[in-house]
Amino acid sequence: MMGRGRGAWWQDRFADRGARITAPREVVLEILQETDDHVTAADVYVKAHERNPSIGLTTVYRTLDMLTQMGIVQKFDFGDGKARYELVNNPGGKKHHHHLVCLRCKAIVDYTEFLDDELEFIGKTQQRLSKKYDFDITDHAISFYGVCARCR
Amino acid sequence: MMGRGRGAWWQDRFADRGARITAPREVVLEILQETDDHVTAADVYVKAHERNPSIGLTTVYRTLDMLTQMGIVQKFDFGDGKARYELVNNPGGKKHHHHLVCLRCKAIVDYTEFLDDELEFIGKTQQRLSKKYDFDITDHAISFYGVCARCR
DNA sequence: CATTTAATGATAATGGTTTTCATTTTTAAT
DNA sequence: ATTAAAAATGAAAACCATTATCATTAAATG
């Protein structure tokens, strides 16, 4: 139903990198796929620990970091002292979106509108940057900052 | 030469907010204007302390935070555990730019190219978002993520 | 099965950032 | 000016998310 064999879509990416598919890593991926929020490492840890009490916080951090480096997860910092994580491509989950951040109360609005123009612009820019700086670009993030109605 | 009276461009913004123009704040602004880097709070503190040893680290943090909320400074987190700050509009300083981040070594490339297309896209999107979500948008950030040549 | 390598988890340590609180400075009022 | 009220400051302590350490366990390899 997805990918080759009976593995999930991300398993091939692990293989390419020589990373082992372990129980804790599977649990973390599961959890990320089930949520639509920007979760913190602690959030993931709590849920992971419920399913498998042997999973430690350290491993959650390490796994999230690995996934970030692989481009499977995107790491954000909205300014409240905790990093947030979310799947880059969540099949059947939340779709591509960007963020609108209130500089006062740190509220986050996820917007999915107006992405048609973006597609063209990002595509072209990514290609140019990629070539000029010899980067293997896998992702991007756009954030707008301002003050929300309630804080004004 | 700039703004009204003999004040710097940011003084009016302070007045509007009822924020006082104090010596430590002036020093922090000076320092930010003199650099083209993404400085950490500690960086600013060291320089500020040189000019006026009575300035404390706490005040530097508080000032940077205030400036961020006012939209005068942009705060970044590139994933190395320290927040970075830079002036949004630095007259005579570094020009508008965005970032290309290596997910492995966390190297940052500031790019200033290809901003013509951006101008149009960002302008339109900002206006739409502003209206739809009732946000007073003052700034934006675009980041591309990938793996640099050396890490590949 | 044996061996090597990777991954894990409990704990301790780290360190950037924030809180606390007494003091000082600035502004507004008298 | 003098005084009273409010804002800003700084030293030190507290916080807390994240990372390093290291002994143990699990997985891949031949």
What's the burial of A149, exposed, middle or buried (CB within 10 Å: 0-12/13-18/19+)? Answer: exposed
User: What domains does chain B contain, in order, with CATH numbers?
Assistant: 1-89 (1.10.10.10), 95-152 (3.30.1490.190)
Q: Tell me the percentage of chain B whose pLDDT exceeds 70.
A: 95
> Chain B neighbours among A 84-113 (CB < 8 Å)?
100, 102-104, 109, 111, 113
Please check whether residue B50 touches A, CB under 8 A. no
Q: Name the token pair of B152.
A: 């590949």
Residue numbers 46-105 of A with CB closer than 7 A to any atom of strand C? 52, 54-59, 62-63, 81
Which run of H or E residues covers position A27?
helix A23-34
Alpha-carbon distance A59 to nearest alpha carbon in chain B (angstroms): 18
Residues A10-66 pLDDT 10s = 999 999 999 999 999 999 999 999 998 899 999 999 999 999 999 999 999 999 999
* Beta carbon pairs, A and B, within 8 Å: 134
Average pLDDT over residues A99-121: 89
User: What percent of chain B is helix, strand and coil (3-state, nearest 5)?
Assistant: 45, 20, 35
Average pLDDT, chain B: 90
Q: Which nucleotide is nearest to A56 (CA to C1')?
A: C9
